[in-house]
Amino acid sequence: MSLTFYSYPKCGTCKKAKKWLEDQGLSIDEIHIVENPPSKMELKSLYEKSGLPLKKFFNTSGKKYRELGLKEKVNSASDDELLEILSSDGMLIKRPVTTDGSKVTVGFKEETFEETWK
């Protein structure tokens, strides 16, 4: 099984998640989330498969998120508007986003990875 792993190479959390996956012997297809961000349709699919609220896909600690004043917008915008915003800039997406095509995790929590990818 190969996992699609959207990450940002300079991101410490992404490095930890990648190491964890490799330590489990899982093969990953790594995609640079800023150079090749997922499209609006890909994000919609990831969101629907994740079972998470769409606002969990936002990198709320990112500079871009604060610059664009998205804190209020995330609570009032429609899913369609939020997907449009997310697909406009890979730096707005919480990373890493990991998927096998049916399951999706956002960010890295070892317990979640244990449950999902082991």
Tens of pLDDT, residue by residue over 103-118, are: 999 999 999 999 999 9
Cα 118 to Cα 113: distance, rounded to the nearest angstrom: 7
Give kind and range of the element (H or E) at residue 62. none
Q: What is the pTM of this model?
A: 0.95
pLDDT tier for residue 78 given thresholds of 50, 70 and 90: very high
Residue 95 belongs to domain with CATH number: 3.40.30.10
Would residue 38 be called left, alpha or beta, if left means φ above 0 and alpha means ψ between -120 and 50 degrees?
Answer: beta
Mapped onto helix, strand or coil, the DSSP state of residue 35 is: coil
With 90 as the cut, is the pLDDT of residue 1 above it?
Answer: no
Token digits for 37?
């961000």
Quote the pLDDT of residue 106.
Answer: 98
Quote the pLDDT of residue 54.
Answer: 96
DSSP 33: T
* Domain span including residue 58: 2-117
Tens-place pLDDT, residues 35-61: 999 999 999 999 999 999 999 999 999
Cα 91 to Cα 35: distance, rounded to the nearest angstrom: 10
Quote the pLDDT of residue 71.
Answer: 92
Between the CA of residue 44 and those of 10, 18, 30, 54, 102, what are the distances in Å?
26, 24, 19, 9, 13
Cα 54 to Cα 74: distance, rounded to the nearest angstrom: 9
Q: Number of folded domains in the chain?
A: 1
pLDDT, mean over the chain: 96
Quote the pLDDT of residue 23.
Answer: 97
